[in-house]
């Protein structure tokens, strides 16, 4: 049992970060690929800076798109991320890799140039001729054929088919999927969730641009935009990136263990003194389907979806059973993690605990809540601008 814990931050500290501008919230690699449900890097930074020191090992058992791992690296803290979604792991891998920037830029721009040439060639051929089973630009995916205009889909498939010719293939895959996200036949103001039952085929009023817009018919403009943006963001992060190791494990947190294989097949050993701390934001009950939000990516890349294993998935609803299943899933997860923590480990969990279940989750998992920080959140993306509140629970081993 841990004795007295020194609280290094006042519970009354302003954690809204309302003064932080949008470009700061999405600095460098944090905007390499959109991800619904991630917390802002400033929240991670303030807790890591005030509670841990350089060299201490940080775990994020619900790593999402890797915000905690990126911020830990900047502070010189080795980090381990565990994440169920393979695509989310891929995003994190791209954000945190150490690149040969010159080679990376050359490869990105070379494939972009080839894509532009291919797109120009379509100006002289009917799409029906290009979109045949006799070419490499055909897909049997019902989802892709439904949600992309013919020209956009051919451009995306051409890009995909040529990725294998380069070393930094995963970066190119992320440029591809980010472009695909923007090129879908959905309203511009609904890119975050894209819950329209049918594709947008005609003119519509766009709440994002405050005018009438047309559906997207090409992907090349996005491939161009995100190619240059990716180079810029990775270059920015490379200037502050430290040598602190970053490990990414793909798997269900309820089955977490060390040693384990990371995304590259390397063995991640248990730290000698155990993991020093956790900063994480688990899923909220019934709010987001983390796999389904990137359905386009899974379809394009041929990655199997395991969204049925998500804790608190939106598709499970928000009834009594869903809340109870969430409670059980979180208890299982924290119980799986606790053997790998040092005796002095400090755990921070960001949660919207409207069901008041985290005290029970902590107790039944072997933790004690020592502080609760409250913060208000104003959503900046899409049409969801209503403020809401969440808590940061500081826990220690009981």
CATH number, domain at 285?
3.40.50.150
- Please provide the average confidence, as pLDDT, over all residues in the chain: 90
Q: Is position 110 within any domain? A: yes
The answer to whether residues 283 and 391 belong to one domain is: yes
> By C-alpha distance, which of 11, 9, 63, 22 is closest to 375?
11
* Mean pLDDT score, 4-8: 48
Q: Is position 209 within any domain? A: yes
Please tell me the total count of domains within the chain.
2
Q: Is position 277 within any domain? A: yes
Whole-number pLDDT of residue 174 = 98
The answer to whether residues 279 and 336 belong to one domain is: yes
Q: Is position 230 within any domain? A: yes
Q: Is position 360 within any domain? A: yes
Q: What percent of the chain clears pLDDT 70, i.e. is strictly above it?
A: 90
The answer to whether residues 301 and 276 belong to one domain is: yes
Q: Looking at 208, 236, 264, which one is the last position of a domain?
A: 236
Question: Which of the four pLDDT bands, split at 50, 70 and 90, describes residue 382?
Answer: very low
Is-contact 206 396, C-beta < 8 A? Answer: no
Whole-number pLDDT of residue 190 = 83
The answer to whether residues 178 and 300 belong to one domain is: no
* Mean pLDDT score, 334-358: 97
Distances (CA, A) of 77 to 71, 94, 97, 198, 342: 9, 18, 15, 46, 15
The answer to whether residues 70 and 136 belong to one domain is: no
- Residue 367 is inside which H or E element, if any? strand 367-377
The answer to whether residues 347 and 229 belong to one domain is: no
Question: Which of the four pLDDT bands, split at 50, 70 and 90, describes residue 41?
Answer: very high
**Per-residue pLDDT tens digits for 291-320:** 889 999 999 999 989 888 999 988 888 899
**Per-residue pLDDT tens digits for 126-184:** 655 655 444 567 788 999 999 999 999 999 999 999 999 999 999 999 999 999 999 99
**Residue 4 scores a pLDDT above 50:** no
Is the pTM of the predicted complex or chain greater than 0.75?
yes
More confident residue, 2 or 299: 299
The answer to whether residues 71 and 128 belong to one domain is: no
Q: In what order do the strands lie in the sheet with 79-83?
A: 246-250, 79-83, 58-60, 275-280, 341-351, 388-397, 367-377
- Residue 204 is inside which H or E element, if any? strand 204-206
Distance (Å, whole) CA 377 – CA 70:
21
The answer to whether residues 376 and 285 belong to one domain is: yes
Distances (CA, A) of 9 to 47, 76, 371: 8, 21, 10
The answer to whether residues 250 and 385 belong to one domain is: yes
The answer to whether residues 248 and 392 belong to one domain is: yes
**Residue 228 scores a pLDDT above 80:** yes
Distance (Å, whole) CA 167 – CA 169:
6
Q: Any residues with CB less than 8 A from the CB of 340 and at least 6 apart, and which?
A: 59, 256, 257, 258, 270, 274, 275
Q: Looking at 202, 236, 270, which one is the last position of a domain?
A: 236
Residue 66 is part of which domain span?
22-94+243-397
Q: Is position 293 within any domain? A: yes
Q: Is position 128 within any domain? A: yes
The answer to whether residues 267 and 219 belong to one domain is: no
The answer to whether residues 370 and 261 belong to one domain is: yes
């Amino acid at each position: 049992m841990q004795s007295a814990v020194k609280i290094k931050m006042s519970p009354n500290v302003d954690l809204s970060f309302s003064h932080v501008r949008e470009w700061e919230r999405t600095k460098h690699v944090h905007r390499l690929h959109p991800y619904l449900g991630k917390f802002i890097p400033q929240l991670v930074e303030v807790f890591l800076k005030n509670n841990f020191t350089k060299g201490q090992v940080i775990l994020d058992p619900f790593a999402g798109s890797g915000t905690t791992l990126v911020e830990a690296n900047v502070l010189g803290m080795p980090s381990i991320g565990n994440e169920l979604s393979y695509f989310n792991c891929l995003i994190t891998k791209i954000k945190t890799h150490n690149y040969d920037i010159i080679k990376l830029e050359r490869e990105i721009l070379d494939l972009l140039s080839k894509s532009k040439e291919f797109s120009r060639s379509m100006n002289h051929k009917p799409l029906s001729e290009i979109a045949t089973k006799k070419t490499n630009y055909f897909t049997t995916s019902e989802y892709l054929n439904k949600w992309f205009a013919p020209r956009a889909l051919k451009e995306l498939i051409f890009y995909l088919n040529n990725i294998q010719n380069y070393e930094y293939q995963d970066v190119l895959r992320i440029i591809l999927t980010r472009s695909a996200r923007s090129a879908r036949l959905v309203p511009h103001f609904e890119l975050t969730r894209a819950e329209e039952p049918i594709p947008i085929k005609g003119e519509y009023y766009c709440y994002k641009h405050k005018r009438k817009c047309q559906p997207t018919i090409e992907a090349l403009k996005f491939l161009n935009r995100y190619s240059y943006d990716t180079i810029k963001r990775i270059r920015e992060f490379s200037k502050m990136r430290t040598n602190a190791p970053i490990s990414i494990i793909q798997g269900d947190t309820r089955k977490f263990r060390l040693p384990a294989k990371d995304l590259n097949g390397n063995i991640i050993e248990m730290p000698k003194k155990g993991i020093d701390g956790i900063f994480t934001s688990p899923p909220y009950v019934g709010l987001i389907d983390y796999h389904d939000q990137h359905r386009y990516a899974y379809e394009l890349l041929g990655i199997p979806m395991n969204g049925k294993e998500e804790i608190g998935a939106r598709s499970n609803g928000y009834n009594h059973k869903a809340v109870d299943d969430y409670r059980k899933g979180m208890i299982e997860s924290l119980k799986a993690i606790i053997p790998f923590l040092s005796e002095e480990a400090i755990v921070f969990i960001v949660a919207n605990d409207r069901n008041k279940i985290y005290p029970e989750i902590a107790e039944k998992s072997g933790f004690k809540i020592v502080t609760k920080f409250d913060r208000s959140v104003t959503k900046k993306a899409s049409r969801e601008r209503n403020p809401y509140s969440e808590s940061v629970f500081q826990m220690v081993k009981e």
